[in-house]
Amino acid sequence: MHQSMKMKKVLRSLFQIAVFHVLLKPKAGLGSSHDYGDALSKAIIFFEGQRSGFLPEDQRVSWRGKSGLSDGWNYNTDLTGGYYDAGDNVKFGFPMAFTTTMLAWSVLEFGDVMPPNELRNALVAIRWATDYLLKTVSQPNRIFVQVGDPNSDHECWERPEDMDTARTTYAVDAPNAASDVAGETAAALAAASMAFRSSDPGYSETLRRNAITAFQFADNYRGAYSDNDNVKYNACPYYCDFDGYQEIAYYAHGVHFGACIEKFWKLNLLDELLWGAAWLRRATQDDNFLNYIQTNGKTLGADDNINEFGWDNKHAGLNVLVSKEVIEGNMYSLESYKSSAESFICTLIPESPSSHIEYTPGGLVYRPGGSNLQHATSIAFLELVYANYLTHASQAINCGNVYVSAQTLRQHAKRQVDYILGDNPMGLSYMVGYSNYYPQRIHHRGSSLPSIKDHPQFIACKEGSIYYNSTNPNPNVLVGAIVGGPDENDDYVDDRVDFRKSEPTTYINAPFVGVLAYFAANPNFS
């Protein structure tokens, strides 16, 4: 029976590969002209499909309904709202906070070139997250880090509107540590406070004040939130604070979790402290935060030249963010951050002698470990941000014998964007709903099950399995969702079972909002 099931899966995969190569083959003469404005709109709409809680009347993803209305029950507190991070029905605070930071950074860097309606939509997307994050830090000496039991959730294939799995709330109380989640929450609230400064000063001040409180918790009680016994087996292995390479090592070599965290604690935990402090410095202009990132840089690992950026590792983003102070403010005491940022950028340029980032044959940034497009979108974002800094100061980067200008960085970012939108060997847009050819069977419960609007009858935990295993396209189009992406050979099988390639996440989309805003405003850039 087992062999028979494996054979069926192999045959299904082979069939789908054949179909994709025939139907989605790039058409002769297809240019690389894209409607970046349309893609921007769709990238923002996606977040409405990920909403938890009571949905507003102007909800545009109409096949979704209200969900998670009892969240926070076991602490007798209101934790409704926020986002489901991916294709499941759990609210993980760590990636949600990072998503929020990146949405806010997108608005701060590129909001001035967004169409007014899309800027408004982006701010609405940010506020849906920050309203929830404010609830997570609303009680003294406590941070709520997660809602939902992922182990029971992942045993089911259910619409969020039908959830009958445990909606357990997980909190960390002082003096227990949660530097990673609290530090990222501080960054998110601080960045968002600047995004709302002109449109809603009162809300901006609330965000700023709570960002400081979250940072104090992170700094006073140092350690990983997943070290807490009440969280450990429910946050891990999903969102522990170690990067993709270390995650692979953890699984492949059977490294004990505690040993793994101990070994990489400095490198991949305390970056959130510097990240949170850097955002608070930018939001408040308080010299105390400037002193913090100056004096704690070496202690907390800023000088470790780690070329990573994502929900679990902030080093490259931190260095780019702080470089703004050096390039535009002549803050030479932070020169090491700028040097690390430019070292990172040099690794991205194939012609550079220090290049070591892998690319697929079709030109996509590639890192093993699944959900690869998170690397492509976040790297493209950092390149565009740094290009803006260089342009403002009329500077360039010297990568050994290679001269890297702002123009070079924008060209490199555009190649990643165009690949994602369809200029790739598959001829496939990896953004759902963009162009005529995009993944039809994404790994997403709400998208793959009949909408509660069309099928109001309850669908129980195991009853959803027939939809999970079906080869039919998803009945609901999750517009704007960017899936995990192709493998190292540019191949993609449209199979919802293969979550590493077919599952969308909020932290893939968030940096892409800023990237698309830039190219929508500069469509003829070459």
From first CA to last CA, the distance across the chain in angstroms is 55
Whether 445 contacts 67, CB under 8 Å: no
Question: Which residue is it, tokens 């102007």?
Answer: 58
351 among known catalytic residues: no
443 among known catalytic residues: yes
- The letter for the amino acid at 188 is A
Q: How many residues does the chain have?
A: 526
How many CA atoms, within 13 angstroms, populate the side-chain half-sphere of residue 50? 33
Question: CB under 8 Å to 379, separation ≥6 — which residues?
Answer: 309, 348, 357, 365, 413, 416
Distance of alpha carbon 244 from alpha carbon 227, whole angstroms: 19
Whether 430 contacts 375, CB under 8 Å: no
Whether 190 contacts 207, CB under 8 Å: yes
How many CB atoms are closer than 10 A to CB 253? 8
The catalytically annotated residue of 180, 494, 495, 498 is: 494
200 among known catalytic residues: no
Kindly tell me the burial class for residue 48, based on how many C-beta atoms sit within 10 Å of its own C-beta (0-12, 13-18, 19 or more). buried
Nearest CA-CA partner of 440 in 16, 83, 143: 16
Whether 282 contacts 321, CB under 8 Å: yes
The catalytically annotated residue of 443, 444, 495, 498 is: 443
Beta bridge partners of 146: 92, 170
DSSP for 500-514? Answer: HHH---HHHHHHHHH
DSSP E strands in 148-301: the ranges are 169-173
402: phi then psi, degrees, rounded to nearest 5: -115, 130
Between the alpha carbon of residue 246 and those of residues 86, 251, 451, the distances in Å are 21, 9, 38
Buried/exposed 133-172: b ≥16 CB within 10 Å, e otherwise: bbbbbeeeebbbbbbbbbebbeebbbbbbbbebebbbbbb
Question: CB under 8 Å to 308, separation ≥6 — which residues?
Answer: 243, 315, 316
Distance of alpha carbon 38 from alpha carbon 245, whole angstroms: 34
405: phi then psi, degrees, rounded to nearest 5: -100, 175
Beta bridge partners of 359: 365
- Dihedral sign for Cα 392, 520, 482, 24, please: negative
**Catalytic positions:** 443, 494, 503
